[in-house]
């Protein structure tokens, strides 16, 4: 069935986009238990800054690098100016802060840049690649590769490095983390820088496919959030698998059932999964003895 | 008699005074319109106070119930021949029923997992509202019948313009809603909700049926949201699926948290601020989003319990 | 017939048998202590009895009724309450409200009565409030009633938990290390409180590492080690049991000997 | 001073439409005032951004009539916002010129309500005419689920029969979707489909176009007037967009209009002024705002008064007014005043627009 | 080694410490006894930097520590086993211990960990399990072991014997005693006043935010007021 193959390729393409966004959530979440609703804006910034740097005549790789660095800096600023001062606030307050931040970033972007749609050329052309009677754009392969690389890097970071453990310790028990000598402020700074950089990288990779504009962040953040929860928040494996699954559900539903209700079906599947596994597919099962 | 009772009475008194007195400063009907929107949002936000402030459960899909209330008010008069007022009641009943059915499975989830599940529910509702155009008119919306109460009052000699009528009517609804929420706060049920917010396991060992209590909070808050949606639809005489949208859900939660999710007056205050802000910010429309984002961040950073409770604490040394 | 009886209770986490085939019973007015080394399975046993964990094997009977695996609130309705080793305080409420919450079963009514503030609902709230104040006085927290619960010291929270558990119309009370974090004098106060409650006909199951206290107030002692019951009997007999001394008590050099009994 | 009110969706999901509208209104009012205003009076534009929220739009409309005391309202970027402004305008008896597409806005005619864009139905008719000309009778439709796409979809389904066209495949996509290949694969796989029509605006149509070329569907692809801007070719990529047809306005092809074209002067002027002022390309939507203001100013001029009632009557009497969308002639039973001839069938060739009539 | 002068600290508007003066010499074992709510935990939190100080000074090895952030104090040699254990419940036992030595990457980390396992064999058994699953007493052992992993020169213990079986209580006091040989200074807060005063060199008695008595441990142990109020004799 060539259709099925095409649906799968589409699902993987979209899924990889979601996975990249979801992976961006993991670090900040792991450091602070906060789902950063401004993550979508990092993706948007990655795309927008690259577009404008590229249009200003820079080489694409250089433009992308600048975008990632700038976005990371913005992430750090967000932490220093908004998250760090609110330390100890309840999680809902932190959610509102990140939503506020996302509105703010959107507002500034629209002033600094514009409200138009933009894109820059795909890295390796637009000639579709044929796989078993179906096709995929080369840029999709870049996105998929990006998701896999980020996943592996994060997985190694959290399982193999002491810094990764320090990040986990910080969210698990901030007081105790300080007692063992972890500079929790620095951990937070690092986490925001990394998360923002991953977001920006996602933006750079996906813009040739999805296009970008100042208000692209909300939709991506929502889907990325859903994907991350499906997989289990905080686990890079969950983000990758959750993203890919979500993309596949959508594509298969659009292909076989109804394109109108593809998002609905995707959400129903998420609800069903959470019903059976309240922590998502790979979520950590927190043990809290009483 | 006790401290608590006075808190409740003061809250209601303050609210009633605000509703009754501010119109004296209104230079035009536009202000009545904005005021009534504050109250409409306030009603929905009270639901969030009960669900999030009392019981500690996050919902990012509550606008879905507002959508159900709004569309019930729009559709039932046309298809079932109901009077709009009964249509709104039907909407509330329907919302309660749906909340009851949906709440059971999703309230087993905690924190962000609950957030994403409720988000999914909200999206589902708004998707149905915009996809089933044959019934709902699709994304472009649908007209809503007139409530008729204003005319009825007119016949009885109380002549109000539409904005005036809606201002006072919504104000009254808000007062009733606030009264109920305040009653709940210090009642056994309210304490059970706040207890499970603190520790589910301890709540259940003192005999609180935790799933049931959560469900009660969810259903009650759904009815509030539904009522708010109905009021909006009836007042605007026109409704679009935006009422059920994700942004509206977020807005409701933001209003509650900004004002102080645990406090009835605080949350209404939050609804007021967020409803008025866009009207104030029109002077620098370009910067509206920037300012809105900044306000949200600054309030949460410097007044982390929400505007009102934090300010009260500043003045009196204790929370509201 | 005993009020609470536990028959062959067992549970495992991963490969570990945390509790294995434990049986005993508690009568009204009796204080039964469960002792044993850290990790012996005492808290786990409590968690199974009180419906927090589902036992893998065995039965829990309350007043003859099989209540194995019942949710905690169902057990509460049947007169069981407990305190926690890892404190479970309603941090978002005042001390008084924490205690009132203990009266939930007695004060609860229909949601509608509560929403509309009907007289019945108000009266029940008032009664609970009065009862709660009395209880706080009993555990020595009368002055802290209006404070936020989060601001109490550890020992005070411990006592607040006891007050909350007593608020239920308790028939069986499970206390998990009630005296942890209290000094000798405070411990003695808790002793008296427990003895008093038992004297009123409540069956008490106690986990405690303070041997002075255990020896002083227990009618019967059950000793666990590695999830298995290794000894059982009168305080005097148990404390002389060489197995118990080896596994749990050690040679006592730190305790002032004259403080015994 | 004559106060004119406007509420458009300069931000939010419809900012793609509302942003050029807002900029156009500001630019033109400035221009008109610089030239001495209307009837010797300066215009004052009170402009609000409703963010695409119908509820907000209604509040702003109330504010315009109650607080700002404007003599007329322009706006309602989307049908949803328009429909919630309508009752306010009707109640307050203030003329209202909408910038949204749906036919319901002016059909049935409402005393105080006008609009400038062609209706969605007209876009469908124009496209179907062209299909008929090319002997196409069985098509696949893919539309966005937003207001624009859904509304146009509805109209196209309604009039397809008139042109003997059968819609054999019917798919949708969300406004922010990243890949439409499953839907297009299904359309491609539907037996007998001779052409595909995409109703939508924003990034959707660009992605559809790119996916369409990726899948090598090989059938004619029709887009709607929702994508009519130069940006579309750039976003979709000139190669993928090659051969795409759509009903557009004169504005889009200002440069290649014949010298005799009645709209040439108007569109060329507007295009030049807009692009100079904002640095971005004109779009059909800015044109709608342009026409609305022109109609209003023309009416105030003819009425010789800034009384709402007089303005309304004058708007209804608009005749032969050359706008960017077409030549407008209103009547008591026609509050739009455009016909199909205002649309031009365009095709993208070699990365640029050509007129194919 | 550690000197505290006029230390005050508050929770919001309520002051919990009203000017504490105390000093500990190098290698000394000092204990603080006091009733529930006396402010012992608050004092230790001030020392380890978890709690802001509103007035007064903390001087550690000749340097002012008062405003040093908490995470830098371990670098200076100050480790705490806090009240409520505060272990990393989502991490494994081994990860908890490894993080205790967060500042170090040398080989000694492994040796220290082996020592910890020798001290508390149960931790070795559970090394790969999430620490949140441990029993109360096991968590307490982990908290103490983790503090030791930080190679402190001064160890702050907040009720280390709480929740431990008698046999382990003895062991904990043995550990405290052994600190003397390792030249580690210990500040011990205990409800088991008898045990604490038996191992300590000196002791302080705290009541509602003030030091009310101090002296050599033996003297305090013999003091009738102490015996009545804290030993229950
Ligand atoms: N949820 C769980 N997950 C994993 N292991 C568990 C869990 N609950 C208990 N255990 C294990 O079961 C054993 C018994 O634990 P329990 O808490 O019952 O001991 P305890 O007798 O109460 O000890 P303590 O005196 O230290 O409180 C321990 O080894 C513990 O690690
Ligand atoms: N987070 C807090 N907010 C407000 N007050 C607090 C807080 N924590 C402690 N207190 C108050 O500070 C005082 C000292 O408490 P602290 O915990 O230091 O006592 P403690 O001596 O350690 O008691 P315990 O032996 O019970 O642990 C007490 O009155 C307590 O109520
Ligand atoms: Mg235990
Ligand atoms: Mg303490």
Instruction: Tell me the residue range of the domain where E80 lies.
Output: 25-51+68-231
Residue D259: exposed, middle, or buried by beta-carbon count in 10 A (0-12, 13-18, 19+)? exposed
pLDDT tens sequence across C47-80 = 999 999 999 999 999 999 999 989 999 999 999 9
pLDDT tens sequence across B106-163 = 999 988 899 989 999 999 999 999 999 899 988 989 999 988 888 888 888 888 888 8
Q: What is the rounded average pLDDT of the residues D256-271?
A: 90
How many angstroms separate the CA atoms of C207 and C37, rounded?
11
Q: Are E167 and C255 in contact (CB under 8 A)?
A: no
| Main-chain phi, psi angles of B164, to 5 degrees | -60, -50
What stretches of chain E adopt beta strand conformation (E)? Answer: 2-11, 14-24, 29-34, 55-60, 63-64, 78-81, 154-158, 185-189, 202-207, 210-216
CB contact under 8 A, C47 and A290: yes
Q: Are B286 and B237 in contact (CB under 8 A)?
A: no
DSSP symbol at A113? S
Domain assignment of residue B101, yes or no: yes
Domain assignment of residue B20, yes or no: no
Cβ atoms within 10 Å, residue D226: 29
State how many domains chain B has: 1
Residues of C in contact with A93 (CB under 8 A): none
Helix, strand and coil content of chain B, in percent to the nearest 5, comes to 80, 0, 20
**Best CA proximity match to E124, nearest among E150, E99, E97, E160:** E97
Residues of A in contact with E89 (CB under 8 A): 172-173, 286-288
Question: What rounded mean pLDDT belongs to chain D?
Answer: 92
Largest separation between any pair of C-alpha atoms in chain D: 64
Q: Are C227 and C17 in contact (CB under 8 A)?
A: yes
How many angstroms separate the CA atoms of A259 and C221, rounded?
68
Residues of B in contact with C90 (CB under 8 A): 194-195, 197-199, 202-203
Q: Are C184 and C92 in contact (CB under 8 A)?
A: no
How many angstroms separate the CA atoms of D220 and A31, rounded?
52
Domain assignment of residue E205, yes or no: yes
Cβ atoms within 10 Å, residue C202: 23
How many angstroms separate the CA atoms of B9 and B175, rounded?
12
CATH of the domain at E81: 3.40.50.300
Q: Are D206 and D232 in contact (CB under 8 A)?
A: yes
Tell whether A219 is within 8 A of chain D (Cβ): yes
Domain assignment of residue E129, yes or no: yes
Q: Are D285 and D100 in contact (CB under 8 A)?
A: no
Whole-structure pTM value: 0.94
Q: Provide ipTM, 2 decimals.
A: 0.93
Residue A3 CB contacts under 8 Å (≥ 6 apart), including other chains: A255, D185, D186, D189
| Main-chain phi, psi angles of E184, to 5 degrees | -95, 130
Q: What pLDDT was estimated at residue A267? A: 86
Q: Are D103 and D121 in contact (CB under 8 A)?
A: yes
CB contact under 8 A, E165 and C36: yes
Domain assignment of residue B12, yes or no: no
Q: What is the rounded average pLDDT of the residues A198-217?
A: 93
Cβ atoms within 10 Å, residue B161: 12
Helix (H) or strand (E) holding C206: strand C203-207
CB-nearest partner of B289 from D11, D52, D154: D11
Domain assignment of residue E89, yes or no: yes
Q: What is the set of domains in chain A, with CATH numbers? A: 2-276 (1.10.3470)
Of the pLDDT bands very low, low, confident and very high (cuts 50, 70, 90), residue B316 is low
Domain boundaries C1-79+169-261, corresponding CATH code: 3.40.50.300
Instruction: Tell me the residue range of the domain where B157 lies.
Output: 28-245
Kindly state if the Cβ of E38 falls inside 6 Å of ligand 2.
yes
How many angstroms separate the CA atoms of A284 and A235, rounded?
8
C156 C-alpha vs ligand 4 centroid, how far in Å? Answer: 10
Question: What rounded mean pLDDT belongs to chain A?
Answer: 92
pLDDT tens sequence across B155-181 = 888 888 888 999 999 999 999 999 999
Model confidence at A287: pLDDT above 80: no
Q: Which residues pair with C59 in a beta bridge?
A: C7
Model confidence at C252: pLDDT above 80: no
pLDDT tens sequence across D44-81 = 999 999 999 999 999 999 999 999 999 999 989 999 99
Q: Over the Cα atoms of chain B, what is R_g?
A: 19
Q: Which chain residues have CB less than 5 Å from ligand 4, an ion?
A: C 154; E 41, 83
- To test ligand 1's pocket by mutation, which of C18, C53, C85, C207 has the most ligand atoms within 8 angstroms of CB? C18
* Helical spans, DSSP H, in E60-131: 70-76, 93-100, 108-119, 121-125
Model confidence at B2: pLDDT above 60: no
Domain assignment of residue E207, yes or no: yes
State how many domains chain E has: 1
Model confidence at B285: pLDDT above 80: no
pLDDT tens sequence across B93-105 = 999 999 999 999 9
Domain assignment of residue B4, yes or no: no
> Rounded to the nearest 10 degrees, what angle do helices B3-21 and B264-280 cross at?
30
CB contact under 8 A, A117 and D202: yes
Domain assignment of residue B310, yes or no: no
How many angstroms separate the CA atoms of B314 and C162, rounded?
34
CA distances from B235 to B40, B166, D49 (A): 10, 7, 21
How many angstroms separate the CA atoms of C77 and C71, rounded?
10
Model confidence at C259: pLDDT above 70: no
Ligand nearest to the CA of E204: 2
E43 C-alpha vs ligand 4 centroid, how far in Å? Answer: 9
Structure tokens at E152: 């402190």
Q: What pLDDT was estimated at residue D168? A: 95
What stretches of B212-302 adopt beta strand conformation (E)? Answer: 238-239
Of the pLDDT bands very low, low, confident and very high (cuts 50, 70, 90), residue B319 is very low
pLDDT tens sequence across C91-122 = 889 999 999 999 999 888 889 999 998 999 99
Domain assignment of residue B295, yes or no: no
CB contact under 8 A, D55 and B37: yes
Q: Are C57 and C165 in contact (CB under 8 A)?
A: no
Kindly state if the Cβ of E40 falls inside 6 Å of ligand 2.
yes
pLDDT tens sequence across E101-160 = 999 999 999 999 999 999 999 999 999 999 999 999 999 999 999 999 999 999 999 999
Q: What is the rounded average pLDDT of the residues B272-299?
A: 88
Do D and B make contact via 3 or more CB pairs under 8 A? The reply is yes
- In a mutagenesis test of the B interface, which of D52, D147, D148 is the best target, namely the one with the most B β-carbons within 10 Å? D147
pLDDT tens sequence across A223-232 = 999 999 999 9
Model confidence at B23: pLDDT above 60: yes
Model confidence at C251: pLDDT above 70: no
| Main-chain phi, psi angles of B136, to 5 degrees | -100, -5
Distance from CA of B258 to the nearest CA of D (A): 20
Which part of chain C has CATH 3.40.50.300? 1-79+169-261
Cβ atoms within 10 Å, residue B203: 27
Q: What pLDDT was estimated at residue C255? A: 46
Question: What rounded mean pLDDT belongs to chain C?
Answer: 90
Q: What pLDDT was estimated at residue C260? A: 34
Q: Are B169 and B151 in contact (CB under 8 A)?
A: no
| Segment among A90-94, C134-138, D346-350, E202-206 with least mean pLDDT | A90-94
Counting Cα atoms < 13 Å in the Cβ hemisphere of E60 gives 24
pLDDT tens sequence across C191-231 = 999 999 999 999 999 999 998 899 999 999 999 999 999 99
Distance from CA of B211 to the nearest CA of D (A): 36
Could you identify the atom of ligand 2 that is nearest to the CA of residue C183? 25
* Helical spans, DSSP H, in chain D: 15-34, 54-66, 79-92, 120-133, 147-160, 181-189, 203-214, 230-236, 238-241, 264-278, 284-303, 308-316
């Amino acid at each position: 069935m060539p259709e099925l193959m095409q649906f799968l390729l589409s699902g993987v393409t979209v899924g990889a986009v979601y996975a990249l966004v979801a992976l961006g959530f993991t670090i900040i979440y792991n450091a602070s238990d906060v789902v950063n609703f401004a993550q979508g804006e990092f993706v948007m910034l990655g795309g927008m800054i690259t577009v404008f740097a590229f249009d200003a005549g820079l080489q694409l790789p250089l433009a992308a690098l600048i975008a990632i660095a700038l976005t990371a800096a913005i992430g750090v600023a967000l932490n220093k100016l908004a998250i760090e001062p609110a330390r100890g606030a309840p999680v809902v307050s932190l959610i509102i802060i990140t939503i506020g931040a996302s509105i703010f970033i959107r507002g500034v972007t629209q002033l600094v840049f514009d409200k138009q749609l933009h894109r820059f050329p795909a890295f390796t052309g637009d000639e579709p690649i044929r796989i078993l009677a179906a096709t995929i754009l080369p840029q999709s392969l870049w996105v998929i590769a990006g998701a896999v690389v980020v996943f592996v890097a994060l997985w190694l970071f959290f399982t193999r490095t002491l810094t990764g453990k320090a990040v986990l310790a910080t969210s698990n028990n901030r007081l105790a983390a300080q007692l063992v000598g972890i500079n929790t402020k620095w951990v937070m700074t690092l986490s925001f820088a990394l998360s923002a950089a991953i977001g920006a990288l996602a933006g750079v990779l996906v813009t040739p496919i999805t296009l970008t504009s100042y208000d692209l962040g909300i939709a991506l953040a929502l889907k990325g959030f859903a994907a991350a929860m499906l997989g289990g928040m905080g686990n890079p494996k969950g983000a990758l698998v959750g993203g890919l699954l979500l993309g596949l559900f959508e594509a298969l539903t659009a292909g076989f059932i109804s394109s109108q209700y593809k998002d609905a079906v995707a959400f129903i599947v998420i609800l069903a999964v959470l019903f059976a596994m309240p922590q998502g597919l790979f979520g950590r099962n927190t043990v809290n003895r009483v | 008699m006790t401290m608590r009772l006075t808190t409740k009475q003061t809250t209601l008194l303050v609210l009633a005074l605000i509703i009754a007195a501010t119109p004296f400063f209104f230079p035009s009907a536009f202000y009545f319109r904005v005021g009534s929107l504050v109250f409409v949002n306030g009603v929905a936000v009270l639901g969030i106070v009960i669900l999030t402030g009392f019981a500690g459960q996050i919902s990012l899909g509550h606008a879905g119930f507002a959508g159900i209330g709004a569309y019930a008010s729009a559709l039932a008069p046309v298809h079932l021949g109901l009077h709009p007022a009964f249509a709104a009641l039907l909407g509330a009943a329907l919302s309660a029923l749906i909340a009851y059915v949906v709440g059971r499975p999703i309230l087993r989830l905690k924190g962000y997992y609950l957030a994403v599940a409720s988000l999914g529910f909200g999206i589902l509702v708004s998707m149905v509202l915009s996809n089933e155009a044959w019934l709902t008119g699709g994304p472009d919306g649908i007209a809503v019948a007139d409530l008729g109460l204003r005319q009825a009052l007119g016949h009885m000699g109380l002549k109000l313009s539409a904005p005036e009528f809606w201002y006072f009517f919504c104000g009254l609804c808000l007062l009733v809603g606030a009264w109920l929420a305040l009653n709940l706060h210090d009642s056994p049920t309210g304490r059970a909700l706040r207890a499970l917010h603190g520790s589910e396991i301890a709540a259940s060992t003192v005999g609180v049926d935790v799933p049931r209590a959560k469900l009660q909070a969810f259903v009650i808050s759904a009815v509030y949201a539904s009522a708010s949606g109905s009021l909006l639809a009836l007042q605007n005489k026109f409704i679009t699926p935006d009422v059920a949208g994700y942004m509206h859900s977020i807005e409701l939660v933001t209003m509650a948290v900004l004002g102080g999710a645990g406090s009835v007056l605080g949350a209404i205050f939050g609804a007021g601020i967020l409803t008025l802000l866009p009207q104030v910010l029109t002077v620098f429309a370009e910067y509206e989003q920037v300012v809105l984002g900044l306000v949200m961040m600054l309030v949460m950073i410097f007044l982390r319990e929400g505007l009102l409770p934090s300010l009260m604490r500043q003045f009196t040394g204790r929370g509201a | 017939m005993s009020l609470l009886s536990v028959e062959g209770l067992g549970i495992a986490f991963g490969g570990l048998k945390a509790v294995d085939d434990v049986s005993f019973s508690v009568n009204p007015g009796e204080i039964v202590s469960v002792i044993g080394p850290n990790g012996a399975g005492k808290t786990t046993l409590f968690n199974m009895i009180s419906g927090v964990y589902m036992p893998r094997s065995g039965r829990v009977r309350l007043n003859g009724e099989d209540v194995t695996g019942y949710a905690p609130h169902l057990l509460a309705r049947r007169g069981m309450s407990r305190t926690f080793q890892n404190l479970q305080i309603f941090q978002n409420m005042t001390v008084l409200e924490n205690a009132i919450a203990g009266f939930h079963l007695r004060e609860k009514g229909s949601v509608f009565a509560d929403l509309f503030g009907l007289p019945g609902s108000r009266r029940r709230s008032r009664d609970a409030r009065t009862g709660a104040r009395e209880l706080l006085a009993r555990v020595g927290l009368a002055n802290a009633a209006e404070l936020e619960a989060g601001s109490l010291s550890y020992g005070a929270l411990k006592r607040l938990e006891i007050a909350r558990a007593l608020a239920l119309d308790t028939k069986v009370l499970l206390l998990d290390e009630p005296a942890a974090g209290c000094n000798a004098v405070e411990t003695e106060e808790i002793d008296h409180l427990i003895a008093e409650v038992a004297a009123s006909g409540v069956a008490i199951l106690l986990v405690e590492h303070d041997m002075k206290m255990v020896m002083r107030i227990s009618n019967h002692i059950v000793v666990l080690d590695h999830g298995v019951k290794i000894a059982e009997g009168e305080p005097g007999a148990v404390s002389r049991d060489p197995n118990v001394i080896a596994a749990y008590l050690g040679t006592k050099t730190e305790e002032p000997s004259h403080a015994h009994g | 001073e004559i106060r004119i009110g406007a509420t458009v969706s300069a931000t939010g999901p419809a900012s793609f439409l509302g942003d050029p509208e807002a900029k156009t209104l500001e630019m033109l009012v400035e221009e008109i005032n610089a030239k001495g205003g209307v009837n010797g009076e300066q215009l004052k534009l009170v402009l609000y951004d409703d963010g695409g929220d119908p509820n907000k739009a209604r509040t702003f409309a109330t504010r315009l009539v109650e607080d700002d005391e404007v003599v007329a309202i322009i706006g309602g970027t989307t049908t949803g916002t328009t429909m919630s402004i309508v009752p306010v305008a009707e109640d307050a008896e203030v003329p209202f010129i909408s910038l949204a597409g749906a036919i319901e806005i002016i059909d049935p005619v409402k005393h105080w309500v006008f609009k400038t864009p062609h209706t969605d139905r007209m876009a469908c008719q124009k496209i179907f005419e062209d299909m008929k000309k090319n002997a196409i009778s069985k098509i696949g439709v893919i539309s966005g689920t937003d207001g624009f796409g859904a509304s146009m979809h509805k109209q196209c389904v309604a009039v397809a029969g008139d042109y003997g066209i059968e819609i054999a495949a019917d798919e949708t996509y969300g406004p922010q979707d990243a890949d439409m290949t499953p839907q297009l694969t299904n359309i491609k796989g539907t037996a007998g489909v001779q052409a595909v029509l995409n109703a939508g605006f924003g990034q959707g149509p660009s992605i559809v176009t790119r996916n369409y070329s990726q899948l090598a569907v090989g059938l004619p692809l029709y887009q709607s007037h929702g994508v009519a801007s130069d940006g579309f070719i750039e976003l979709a990529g000139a190669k993928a967009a090659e051969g795409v047809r759509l009903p557009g306005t004169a504005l889009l092809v200002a440069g290649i209009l014949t010298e005799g074209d009645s709209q040439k002067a108007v569109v060329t002027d507007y295009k030049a002024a807009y692009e100079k002022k904002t640095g971005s390309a004109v779009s059909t939507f800015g044109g709608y705002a342009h026409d609305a203001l022109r109609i209003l100013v023309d009416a105030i001029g003819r009425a010789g008064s800034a009384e709402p009632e007089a303005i309304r009557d004058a708007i209804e009497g608009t005749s032969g007014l050359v706008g960017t969308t077409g030549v407008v002639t209103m009547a008591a039973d026609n509050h739009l005043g455009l016909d199909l001839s205002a649309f031009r069938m365009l095709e993208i060739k070699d990365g640029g627009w050509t007129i194919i009539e | 080694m550690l000197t505290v002068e006029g230390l005050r600290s508050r929770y919001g508007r309520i002051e919990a410490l009203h000017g504490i003066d105390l000093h500990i010499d190098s290698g000394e074992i000092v204990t603080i006894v006091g009733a529930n709510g006396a402010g012992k935990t608050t004092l230790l939190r001030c020392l380890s930097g978890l709690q802001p100080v509103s007035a007064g000074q903390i001087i550690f090895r000749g340097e002012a520590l008062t405003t040093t952030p908490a995470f830098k104090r371990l670098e200076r040699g100050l480790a705490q086993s806090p009240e409520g254990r505060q272990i990393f419940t989502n991490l494994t036992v081994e990860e908890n211990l490894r993080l205790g030595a967060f500042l170090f990457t040398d080989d000694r980390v492994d040796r220290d960990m082996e020592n910890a396992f020798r001290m508390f064999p149960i931790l070795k058994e559970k090394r790969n399990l999430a620490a949140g699953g441990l029993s109360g007493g096991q968590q307490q052992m982990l908290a103490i072991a983790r503090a030791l992993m930080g190679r402190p020169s001064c160890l702050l213990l907040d009720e280390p014997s709480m929740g431990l079986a008698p046999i382990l209580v003895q062991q904990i006091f043995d550990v405290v005693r052994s600190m003397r040989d390792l030249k580690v200074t210990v500040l011990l807060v205990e409800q088991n006043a008898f045990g604490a005063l038996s191992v300590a060199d000196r002791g302080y008695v705290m009541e509602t935010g003030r030091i009310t008595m101090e002296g050599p441990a033996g003297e305090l142990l013999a003091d009738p007021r102490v015996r009545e109020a804290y030993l229950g004799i």
